[in-house]
Amino acid sequence: MDIEIKDLHEKKISDILDRGIKWNLPLLEKNASVQSVLSILTARDHIWVVEEKKSKKVVGVITEYDILRLLAPARLPKYVFGKKYGVSIEYGTAKKAEDVMCKQVIKCSPDEKIGDVLSRMVNAGLRRLPVIENDEIVGEITAHYIIQILLGKR
């Protein structure tokens, strides 16, 4: 291994963050149609939903798993509360990116330690976090990316 994992934990996100990726993030405005969500997901496995493309303020995230649930035949849980259970592609209620995204996004910032961010990902059961600086998405930290760093492939 090119980097000791303990050293990696002590580093900051900004040390490893590839700012060039900013131009290649899977971003979509919240008003975008479900069709455009699906077409991005043919190539990517997640989408950061932003308020609008210019401001890059993240308001939600859509993952493959969210969509998987919408692709399968609609099924309600045993006890239903809240409107979100009515959202479905089958019944035409999933229209916009906003309808299908997870609204509460767990984030990280460039000045946090990688170790802390990794524990957060483990605790929350997430494999990718957006890196947010001044209310704007500047990159993303994914499990893949951390492995690449660890093996010196980046």
Partner 1 sequence: MMFDLKLLLIELGVALILARLFGYALEKVKQPAVIGEILAGIVVGPFVIGSISGYNFISPSIREGIESISYIGIIILLFLSGIDTGIDELKKASKSGIITSLFDVSVAFLFGYIVGTILQYPFIYRIAIGNIFSATSVGITVRTLMDINALHTNVGNLILTVAVLDDILGIIILSVTLGTGSPEILLIKVTIFFIIFLALLFIFYKMRKLNFRAQIPRFVLTSAIAFCFIFSFLAMSLGLAAITGSFFAGLLLSVFPQRRRISTFVREIGEVFFIPLFFVWVGSSFDFSALKGVGYLILYFIPMALLGKIVGCSLGAKINGFKNRDALAVGIGMMPRMEVALVVVTTEISMKIFPTKLAHQMLASTILLVIISSLITPFALKSVYKPSQ
- Minimum distance, C-beta of residue 133 to partner 1, in the bound complex (Å): 13
Residue ranges in 52-81 that form contacts with partner 1 under rule CB under 8 A: 74, 76-81
Residue 46 DSSP SS3: strand
For position 102 contacting partner 1 by CB under 8 A, the verdict is: yes
Q: Residue 104 carries which DSSP code?
A: S
What are the tokens at 146?
A: 């951390």
User: How many binding residues for partner 1 (CB under 8 A)?
Assistant: 29
Closest contact distance (angstroms) between CB of 85 and partner 1 is: 6
Which of residues 2 and 52 has its CB atom nearest to partner 1 in the complex?
52
Which two tokens mark 131?
Answer: 């890196």
- 150 interacts with partner 1 by CB under 8 A: no
Strand order in the sheet with 46-50: 27-29, 46-50, 58-63
Residues 115-134 touching partner 1, rule: CB under 8 A, are 116, 120, 123-125
Burial pattern 97-135, b for ≥16 Cβ within 10 A else e, equals: bbbbbeeebebbbbebbbeebbebbeeeebebbbbbeee
Which residues lie near partner 1 (CB under 8 A)?
A: 74, 76-86, 88, 91-93, 95, 102-107, 109, 116, 120, 123-125
